[in-house]
A and B are shown apart, each in its own frame.
Chain A
Amino acid sequence: MNFVDLRLKIKHFFRKNKKIIFVIVIVWLFIFFINQVLKLYTPEPEIEDTYEPHVSVIDSSQKVPEKYQTNIEDLIEEYVSYCNNNDFDKAYNMLSKDCKEYAYPTYEDFIDHLKIVMYTPKKYSIQNYSNLDDMYIYSISYTDDFLATGLTNTEYSYTEEKMAFKENEDGQLEMSVGNFIKHENINLSTENEYLKIDVKDRIVNYATEEYTFRFTNRTNYDIVISDYVEENEITLSLSNEVRGAEQHEDIVLGSNETKDVKIVFSKYVDDNDSSNFINFNNIRVLEDYYGEFSENTVIEDKIINAIAKFSMNVAVNR
């Protein structure tokens, strides 16, 4: 084969496969181009940062949906700005209906709350704490501007409250503050010939549940429900444990008396446990009540001679 033949063969080859060769060249050039561009691109390295304001502290696999994040941030910013600018009435008006009605029924109640957490202008930070189905609970931490002071002549400290956010029927986010989570009507009851107990409602705060009871004495005798003479007079039955009531006033009913009483139990709203029953374990029906300052012997005698002694349980979940 001489040079001319070779040249002819190459020319013939290119002419025959012109299209494929063009495509290959274009593709190759394109890849080469992308490669050169990528060489110029140096990605920002990710640095370790533990601050994730919308990731739950209780369960780090949970995150507040992105569609709510900015709204929640804006609501908190607006609320804190109002408080910092002494527009307390505007801040009060941002609260959900239930929060206003059950946590801060009057404007003064709200001011009393602010005096504890943030009466002077404060900086704040937010952290999603826990998420319950349709409700997002945030922990808001208030501090002085310690970046501006360097903590000169002061100790590091902060106040904190839980805020709850929930979408209402109109698709708007409602905000509750001061650890208030929700209010629930219960309207369950239990009764016997001596006593009727109605559980009217429950106020759920982040760390407590407050129940409102109506006790109706059906007799002409005195009925002692709780006066700290016996142990475990009032308890709350959860799925996995039984818990005593927080400190409360003595609950004693006179003849045919009806009385509304609030009783509080410690219970975290995000503990994955449910409140099932409230137990009144040592109800005593007496001829007449021995009184607060009676001697032990008198008390014992009265109890031994009680008209009736019994316990009653009332469901608090339908």
Chain B
Amino acid sequence: MKKNEKSKILLAIIILLILLIILVSVQGLLKEKEQEELNTYNIVISNGIIETDANYEEIAKNTLTEELQGMSERDRMETYISNFINLVENKKYEEAYNLLYDDFKTNYFPTAGQFQSYAEKYFPSMASLEFTNIERNGDVYVLWVTITDLINGKKDEAGTEYNFVIRENNVNDIDLSFSVIEE
């Protein structure tokens, strides 16, 4: 190969590498910019109701996911249940409903409205949770949870014991069900 051709090839390699570096750097910059935009969110209080924008929800979800990643198995399951009860306490029934396992919804709460009616009737507006037991069967976890009504519960009254059943498909991606009080 002639000397001139060799130099041209080497020069082409250098230019290609420079272009690749520029491309990767631009990607990195775009990712950083996206993250910065995500870190800004708005909270509006309108007629006494706190409204948050999509960024806030996304940040909250990412924060929860990061926290879950550092937890033990048992702590994760308990956090999922706490999060679910938290959503109900804050009247975010749609979000709580979306955590429920599809077949469970079909069996007990075919619509979100039915779930909301149940939650308003049976779950307290401010709850204390006591986790008394956990068992794992394959990839499904069963927890025994006593839920006490902090506002309306009587002093010496034991709370209501529930079973919660969770399958963790991925971190912060679960199918959940619970023992329903049937009348």
Partner-B contacts on A (CB < 8 A)? 22, 25-26, 29-30, 32-33, 36-37, 39-40, 45, 47-51, 53, 124-127, 141, 143, 145-153, 156, 158
Per-residue CB proximity of B124-144 to A under 8 Å, as 1/0?
000000000001111110100
CA distance A40 to B26 in the complex (A): 11
**When the two chains form their complex, are residues A147 and B28 in contact, meaning their CB atoms are under 8 A apart?**
no
Question: Which of A37, A47, A143 is the most central at the interface, judged by chain B CB atoms within 10 Å of its CB?
Answer: A47
Closest to A37 in B: B24
**When the two chains form their complex, are residues B18 and A29 in contact, meaning their CB atoms are under 8 A apart?**
yes
**When the two chains form their complex, are residues A26 and B104 in contact, meaning their CB atoms are under 8 A apart?**
no
**When the two chains form their complex, are residues B108 and A145 in contact, meaning their CB atoms are under 8 A apart?**
no
Q: A47-B76, A150-B177 are in contact. Are A29 and B101 (CB under 8 A)?
A: no
The contact of B104 among A45, A53, A147, A158, by CB within 8 Å, is A147
The number of chain B residues with a CB under 8 A from chain A is 43
Q: A36-B28, A150-B163, A158-B137 are in contact. Are A22 and B104 (CB under 8 A)?
A: no
Q: In the complex, what residues of B have CB within 8 A of residue A37's CB?
A: 24
Closest to B17 in A: A29
**When the two chains form their complex, are residues B139 and A40 in contact, meaning their CB atoms are under 8 A apart?**
no
**When the two chains form their complex, are residues B167 and A147 in contact, meaning their CB atoms are under 8 A apart?**
yes
CA distance A125 to B140 in the complex (A): 9
Q: In the complex, what residues of B have CB within 8 A of residue A146's CB?
A: 140, 142, 163, 165, 177
Q: In the complex, what residues of B have CB within 8 A of residue A33's CB?
A: 17, 20-21, 24
Per-residue CB proximity of B74-97 to A under 8 Å, as 1/0?
001000000000000000000000
In the complex, B37 has a CB within 8 A of chain A: no
Q: In the complex, what residues of A have CB within 8 A of residue B171's CB?
A: 47
B167 CB to nearest chain A CB (Å)? 6
Q: In the complex, what residues of B have CB within 8 A of residue A152's CB?
A: 108, 179-180, 182
**When the two chains form their complex, are residues B69 and A30 in contact, meaning their CB atoms are under 8 A apart?**
no
Can you list 30 A-B pairs, Cβ within 8 angstroms, ordered by A? A22-B10, A22-B14, A26-B10, A29-B18, A32-B21, A33-B20, A36-B25, A36-B28, A40-B27, A45-B70, A47-B76, A47-B171, A51-B136, A51-B139, A127-B138, A146-B142, A147-B101, A147-B103, A147-B140, A147-B165, A147-B175, A147-B177, A148-B104, A148-B106, A148-B107, A148-B177, A149-B107, A150-B179, A152-B108, A152-B179
**Assuming A22-B10, A40-B28, what are 12 further A-B pairs, CB within 8 angstroms?**
A29-B14, A33-B20, A36-B21, A127-B138, A141-B137, A143-B137, A148-B103, A150-B165, A150-B177, A151-B142, A151-B165, A156-B135
CA distance A143 to B72 in the complex (A): 25
Question: Which of B13, B107, B179 is the most central at the interface, judged by chain A CB atoms within 10 Å of its CB?
Answer: B179
CA distance A143 to B139 in the complex (A): 12
